[in-house]
Amino acid sequence: MLILRLLNLCYELTTLSIIVRAVISWIPNIDYYKEPIKTLIKFTDWILDPIKDLLDRFGLLTVIDVSPIIALFLINIVYKFLYRILIMFFIN
C-alpha cells in the first residue's frame, strides 16, 4: 500500500523537522540564513507560524515556544485520522 507508506513518510519527515528545528532554536549563534537551516525553517514555517499567531492572538506567547509541541500534537491527530480512513478505504 504505497499511499500508506507515503503518508507515513510525510508524517515522519514533518515530525523530525519540527523536532530538529526546536532543538536548533536552543543553540546560540546559529545563522538562520544559511543552508540547510534556511530550508528547514521554510519547511516548518507553514505549520508553526499559524500556531504562533493563535498563541499571540490569545496572549499565550511565553518565553518558551510551545508551538512545536502543539504542532506535533495536531500532526499526530491528523496522521492517525488519515491513516484510519485510508485503512478503511483499502480494507473494505
Q: pLDDT, tens digit, for every residue of 26-42?
A: 999 999 899 999 999 99
Q: Global pTM?
A: 0.89
| Residue 15 to residues 10, 48, 57, 90, Cα–Cα distance (Å) | 8, 12, 25, 25
Whole-number Å distance between alpha carbons of 39 and 1? 30
Quick one: which of 16, 7, 2 has its CA closest to 84? 7
Q: What share of the chain is helix, strand, coil (3-state, %, to 5)?
A: 75, 0, 25
pLDDT at 67 over 90: yes
Q: Could you identify the residue written with the cell 500500500?
A: 1
What distance in Å separates the CA atoms of residue 43 and residue 21, rounded to the nearest whole number? 10
Residue 92 has what pLDDT? 63
